[in-house]
Amino acid sequence: MRWLIIKRTYFFLFLGLLGACRETLSKAENFEKTVLSQIDSIDGDVAVVFYTLSDPKDSLFINENEKFHAASTMKVPVMIELFKQAEQGKIDLNDSILLKNEFKSIVDGSSYSMDVSDDSDDVVYGQIGSKVALRDLMYSMITVSSNLATNVLIELVGAKKVTGTMRDLGAENIEVLRGVEDQKAYNQGLSNSTTAKDLLLIMEGIADGSAGTPEDCEIMIAILKEQQFNDIVPFYLPKNVSVAHKTGSITGVHHDTAIVFLPDGRSYILVLLSKNLENFDKGTEQLAGISKTVYDYMMDQ
C-alpha cells in the first residue's frame, strides 16, 4: 500500500509538471500570435526581436535578418567605438574638439553641412566654432540624437572602425558607412543599414559588459536611460520600468532598440524596426503597443 501511495504521488506530480509546461507553452504561443496580429495591423514592414537576458530560451524573432535603414540606431555603435578608442588610449573623452559644420561626402569628397532645421538638437549649433568636450557631444548624440554631434564623432573615430567593432560583437550585417545627411551618398543607395538581430547583439553586449569594459558599459546604459524620445518602447510602460534605449527615424521609418529593466530585477532586450510606414504616427503608436504586449507577457511569468 505504501508503494502504491508513493507511486500515485509521483504520478500526480508528473501531471502537475505536465500541466505547468502546457500552460507555459500556451502563454508563449498566445504571446507570439498576439505580436504577429499586431504586426499585421501595421501598414508597413516590421521586425521584432524580444530576448530575455535571464532566460535566453524565452525569446521571439520575427524578420530578424531583414535589412532596414539604420537611421539613428547607428549612433549606439558610434558610442561603443568612442569608449573602445578611449580605452585604447587613442582619444580622451574629456578632451575637447573644435566643433565645425563642414563634412565630406563619401561619394566624391565634396563638402556639405548640416541644417539646424533638419536636426533634433539646436543647442549644439550655437557652439559651432568653439571647443566642445567629446563626452558632451556623445551625450547629445544619444539623448537628443544630435546629427551634428554624430558627424563630428564619426569623422573622429572612423565609420569603418565602427563597423569593424560591431563585427567583433557578432553583428554580421550592420553597416556604418557614413555620417548623417550625406545626400549624394543617399542618392546612390549608400546608407547605414542594420537588422534587428544585429541590434540585439549590440544591446546584449552593452547589457552583459562585453561591448567595452564593465564600467564603460554601465556608463553607456546610464546615457541610454537619459533618452529624450520615448514614444515607442517606454511609451505604455509604467514609470517604475527603466528603459535604456535609442530611437531612430526618417521618412516612413521608425525604430527603437532597448534594454528594459523590470522592478523585480529581470531585464530583456526589445528591438522594434519599421519601414514603409503609410502613417508614421499611427505606426509609432502600434509599435508602442507591441512593447506593451511584451511587457505584459513578462509580468505574467
Read off the pLDDT of residues 283-301 as tens digits, 9 standing for 90 and up. Answer: 999 999 999 999 999 999 8
Whether residue 215 is found in the same domain as residue 299? yes
Buried/exposed 197-212: b ≥16 CB within 10 Å, e otherwise: bbbbbbbbbbbeeebb
Residues in the chain: 301
The interaxial angle of helices 75-87 and 214-224, nearest 10 deg, is: 150
- 203 and 292 part of one domain: yes
Residues 219, 134 share a domain: no
Query: Per the domain annotation, does 200 fall within a domain?
Result: yes
* Any domain includes 145: yes
Per-residue model confidence (pLDDT) at position 119: 82
Is residue 292 in a domain? yes
Which of 146, 213, 177 has the alpha carbon at shortest distance from 69?
177
Q: Quick one: pLDDT at residue 301?
A: 82
At residue 245, the 3 state secondary structure works out as strand
Examine the pLDDT at 3 and tell me if it is beyond 80. no
- Cβ 193 vs Cβ 202: under 8 Å: no
CATH of the domain at 272: 3.40.710.10
- Is residue 145 domain-shared with residue 255, that is, in the same domain? no
> Interior CA angle at 262 toward 198 and 216, to 5°?
55
39/105 same-domain check:
no
Same domain, 289 and 243: yes
Are residues 278 and 255 part of one domain? yes
Q: How far is CA 299 from the centre of its chain?
A: 22
Once rounded to an integer, what is the mean pLDDT over residues 21-34? 79
Asked if 254 contacts 274 with a C-beta cutoff of 8 angstroms, the reply is yes
117 falls within a domain: yes
Same domain, residue pair 49 and 97: no
Within a domain: residue 171? no
Answer whether residue 167 is part of any domain. Answer: no
Task: Report d(CA 32, CA 28) in Å as an integer.
Answer: 6
- pLDDT given at position 115: 85
Q: Residues 121, 209: one domain?
A: no
* Residue 103: partners with Cβ closer than 8 Å, 6 or more residues away: 111, 112, 113, 114, 151, 155, 179, 182
More confident residue, 67 or 7: 67
151 and 241 together in one domain? no
- Give the C-alpha separation, 151 to 101, whole Å: 9
**In this structure, is residue 13 part of a structural domain?**
no
| Domain limits for position 225 | 34-66+195-301
Q: Take residue 253 and report the three cell numbers written for it.
A: 521609418
Assess if residue 19 is contained within a domain: no
What is the β-pairing status of strands 103-104 and 111-112?
antiparallel
Give the chain's domain count. 2
CB 17 within 8 A of CB 25: no
In a shared domain, residues 74 and 60 = no
* pLDDT at residue 22, rounded to an integer: 54
Section 165-180 average pLDDT: 96
pLDDT in tens, 64-94: 999 999 999 999 999 999 999 999 999 999 9
Residues 183 and 201 both lie in one domain: no
- Cα atoms found within 13 Å of the Cα of residue 196, Cβ hemisphere only: 24
Residue with cell 566624391: 108
